[in-house]
Amino acid sequence: MKIAVPKETKPYEKRVALTPDIVKSLLKAGWTCIIEEGAGVSSNYPDETYRQAGASIASSKAQVYSEADVLLKVNAPSAEEVQLLKPGAIVISFLYAYTIPELVHVLQEKQISAFSMDAVPRISRAQKMDALSSQANLGGYKAVLLGANHLAKIFPLMMTAAGTITPAKVLIFGAGVAGLQAVATAKRLGAVVEVTDVRPETKEQVESLGGRFLEVKSDEGVKTEGGYAREVSAEYLQKQKELVAKHVADADIVITTALVMGKKAPILITEDMVKTMKPGAVIVDMAVESGGNCAISELNNTVVKHGVTIIGESNLPAHLAMNASDLYARNISTLLLHLANKDGFKWEMEEEITKGSLITHKGELVHGFTKEILS
């Protein structure tokens, strides 16, 4: 079977789905690989490195798509790109299918079997395929560095002959994969770190990294599903706002990572709260693509409002394209080798990882969660 890797076309994207090393291992397992010219250049993998690994290089997008038995991508293909595929071809990429009903429809019409990397179950067995984690981890690290770059202060305590510099204060909303990496990175740089999350079990994880946990006292049991937080009530959010208000006002950097699966991101920092912040403070809104945790962040823009720099970069992993592509390539190839061998896909429809990640198959929308959200 032929694996095809096109060049990503989404704005600000620098990643590529396969790296030359992973191409080599897939060829060894009996697959053939075709890579679009220039696909790896932004990740520092020139065409020559793929050629040396044994892949062929296609000079046009149309060729990559039309020859694909299995198309491996980072972001979802566009509707026009899906039309270039053979009927019955297989696509594996991030899809966030519940956000793109029109594309799901096109995939169904074209009889494409589409697996979504963001839907791979977060179970131990699938950890090597967990691209959400590999990318969020890098994003959390980069968020701290970006914030630090925009701050006219250093992070660590510094005692000098000219006086003592107190450490920077970093406040983090959300202690998932990105948030915990942000805690670790900010601590390593010497900041004082505070964190809030709706899932009580994150307290221990935050504290083990040296962060201080701001706990919302509430009788409301926060529901989780597959480890993900479900939406909390307006009353809970109000209590959280009251708890964190003075910490927001006191912070040098606020990093927000709070997401609720299948929903718009909760607004955790209102414009009024931004007004209370110190001049020169920085907010990095990692949830900006899902609507934002800060009411006045702007998608893919860095703006200064009320004296506060608000960074709305939607794709932080792409700032670390080399590592991000390396890890993504390992995630996606592990999923591929779980689902298939060189002779074809196994189609074990009740197997947990297949069932969790397969969105469309034989013209049907087969994914339970996506069906539930889109119906």
Binding residues for ligand NAD, total number by CB under 6 A: 31
In sequence order, the 6+-apart residues with CB closer than 8 A to the CB of 307 are: 277, 278, 279, 280, 281
Residues 252-311 that bind ligand NAD (CB under 6 A): 257-261, 266, 268
Is residue 117 a contact point for ligand NAD (CB under 6 A)? no
The answer to whether residue 96 forms part of the interface with ligand NAD (CB under 6 A) is no
Closest to 285 measured CA to CA, from 264, 299, 304: 299
The verdict on whether 330 is a catalytic residue reads no
Task: Report how far apart, in Å, the C-alpha atoms of 185 and of each of 47, 112, 144, 146 are.
Answer: 34, 41, 7, 12
Residue 74 beta carbon to ligand NAD: minimum distance, rounded to whole angstroms: 17
Contact range with ligand NAD by CB under 6 A, out of 175-183, 206-214, 272-280, 320-328? 175-183
Q: Is 163 left (phi over 0), alpha (psi -120 to 50) or beta?
A: left
Contact between 175 and ligand NAD by CB under 6 A: the answer reads: yes
Which residues ranging from 189 to 228 are in contact with ligand NAD (CB under 6 A)? 196-199, 202, 227-228
Instruction: Please say if 51 is a catalytic residue.
Output: no
Whether 248 contacts 269, CB under 8 Å: yes
Name the residue nearer to ligand NAD (CB basis): 226 or 344: 226
What are the backbone dihedrals phi and psi of residue 231, each rounded to the nearest 5 degrees, phi first?
Answer: -65, 135
Q: Rule CB under 6 A: is residue 176 a binding residue for ligand NAD?
A: yes
How far is residue 331 from each of residues 9, 24, 59, 336, measured CA to CA in Å? 21, 15, 26, 9
- Does residue 182 touch ligand NAD according to CB under 6 A? no
Residues facing 302 on adjacent strands: 311
Which of these is catalytic: 63, 133, 135, 325?
133
How far apart are CB 231 and ligand NAD at their closest, in Å?
Answer: 8
Q: Using DSSP, state whether 237 is helix, strand or coil.
A: helix
The DSSP bridge pattern shows strands 308-311 and 302-305 to be antiparallel
Binders of ligand NAD among residues 121 to 140 (CB under 6 A) are 122-124, 127, 130, 132-133, 136
174 contributes a contact to ligand NAD by CB under 6 A: yes
Q: Does residue 118 have an active-site annotation?
A: no
Using CB under 6 A as the binding rule, whether residue 98 contacts ligand NAD is answered as no
Sequence length of the chain is: 375
Task: Return residues touching ligand NAD (CB under 6 A).
Answer: 122-124, 127, 130, 132-133, 136, 173-179, 196-199, 202, 227-229, 232, 257-261, 266, 268
Catalogue the active-site residues.
122, 127, 130, 133, 228
